Amino acid sequence: MRDLKYVIFSIGKDNLIYRAILFNGMFIHKDIADSQTKYPDVKAIAAGFTNITNIVNEQHGISFIKQGLPKNGRPLITKVKVKAYGNSESLKLESRGVLDEIIIENTLNRMDY
């Protein structure tokens, strides 16, 4: 899989909510950031590149590498792990490494918000 670009945004007056937008290389970081920062209280705070390093299936705190259902029939929860690195020349923002990885993983693993 090719690497994806990302921008991390802080949202809200207190900047306590963080979200990531991931996109392919056809777009530049600045275009994505400009499309979001036109809204009040949204600010681009980090940008760079990411790739998915691991997909882990979990059930009740036990990690499974195998795909499918375990013998007890309970569904597995798939969690994505990523690596963040680099910078955005167009935004002049750097990747913050592990901090960005946590936000990206939360964004990908919790698509319910």
pLDDT score, position 84:
97
pLDDT score, position 23:
96
State how far the Cα of 45 lies from the Cα of 8, in Å rounded to an integer.
6
Yes or no: say if 97 and 84 are a contact pair by the CB < 8 Å rule. Answer: yes
3-class secondary-structure state, position 103: helix
3-class secondary-structure state, position 104: helix
State how far the Cα of 38 lies from the Cα of 7, in Å rounded to an integer.
15
- For residue range 11-68, list pLDDT tens digits in order: 998 878 999 999 999 999 999 999 999 998 999 999 999 998 877 766 555 554 445 5
3-class secondary-structure state, position 73: coil
Predicted TM-score (pTM) of the model is: 0.79
For the chain, domain boundaries: 4-51+82-109
Mean pLDDT, all residues of the chain: 84
pLDDT score, position 99:
96
Q: Which residue has the tokens 């798939």?
A: 78
> What is the full DSSP assignment across 16-65?
-EEEEEEE-TTS-HHHHHHHHHTSTTEEEEEEEEEEEEEEEEEETTEEE-
- For a pLDDT cut of 70, what percent of the chain falls above it? 76
pLDDT score, position 101:
96
- For residue range 55-83, list pLDDT tens digits in order: 776 655 555 444 555 555 555 566 888 99
For residue 105 the two structure tokens come to 């993983």
pLDDT score, position 15:
78
